Amino acid sequence: MLCVSRAELFVSCFGLGFFILVLFVCLLSGNKPVLVKLQRTSCVLNIRLILLWSSEYIEELVQTNANGGNKLCEGTFLNPGSWGAALLAAGTTLSAMRHILHGHGKIAYALVRPPGHHAQPDHADGYCFLNNAGLAVHLTLDSGRAKVAVVDIDVHYGNGAAEGFYRMDNLLTISLHMNHGSWGPSHPQSGSSDEIGEGRGLGYNLNIPLPNGSGDLGYEYAMNELVVAAIDKFQPQLLVFVIGQDSSMVS
C-alpha cells in the first residue's frame, strides 16, 4: 500500500466501495471525515475551465446544453442535465481539494459523476466532459505546491490528465490500465509504455498497460514495484488518485 505520510492525499472517484475504504482509513488515522456540500459553478470554476480547456470547447459545451444536447464524439453525448452534473462534479472536486489546501485535513474524497479522466483540452471523450482530477491538480499547483503526482487505476488509460500535463515536469502522471490501445479520433493516445511525455515533461508520464485478467496479484506487483518506486523518486507534496472501478472482476 502507498505510504502517504510524506504527502497529502486527494481521491477523485466515482465508486462507493473505495469511498468506504477511505472513510475507514480516515477513522484509523484519526482524521475526522467531513462531508463537503455539492458546489455549483462559480467565477473561480469558470476561470479554471478556461485555463485548462480551449474557449471554443467550453463554448461548444454551453451551446450544446442550451440547444438540448447532442452527440459530442463517438459514444459520448451531452444530454439534458449532463452539463449541470459536470459543473457540480467539477465544483465539488475543487471544494474537496480546497479542504486540504486550507489545512483542514490531509485526506479528501470527491465522490462525483460524471467521471472526467478522458476529457482533453479541446474535446470530450469517453463519457467525460471536464477533467475533475485535472482541475484539482491545477488548483494545487497554483497554491504553491511544487510537485503533484496523479495515480489512475481505471481500467482505461487516463489520457485526459496525461494529455493536459504531457509537457510538465512538476506533475507525475501514472496510469494502470488494460492494454486497449487507441479507440478513435477522440482518443488517439494508446496508453502504451512508450508514451512518456514531451519536452520538459519527458519521463513524467508513466503508463503501465496490464494484460486482461491480471487480477489482484498483477495490480499489487505493479503498484509495489513500479508505482511506489516512481513516487518515491519524484517526492510529490500531494497525491491525487483517480479511482475508476471498472477494473474489477466484473469487467
List residues with catalytic annotation: 118
Q: How many Å apart are CA 52 and CA 75, to the nearest integer?
A: 23
| 237 in Cβ contact with 146 (< 8 Å) | yes
Q: Which amino acid is at 177?
A: H
Q: How many Å apart are CA 142 and CA 51, to the nearest integer?
A: 12
Q: How many Å apart are CA 229 and CA 224, to the nearest integer?
A: 7
- In the structure grid, which three cell numbers stand for residue 163, read together? 494529455
Coil/strand/helix, residue 229 = helix
Q: Which residues contact 84 (CB under 8 A, 6 or more apart)?
A: 40, 65
**Interhelix angle for 43-52 vs 55-66, to 10°?**
120
Q: How many Å apart are CA 200 and CA 165, to the nearest integer?
A: 10
Coil/strand/helix, residue 44 = helix
- In the structure grid, which three cell numbers stand for residue 130, read together? 471536464
Closest residue by Cα to residue 165 from 191, 198, 188, 122:
198
Q: How many Å apart are CA 69 and CA 60, to the nearest integer?
A: 10
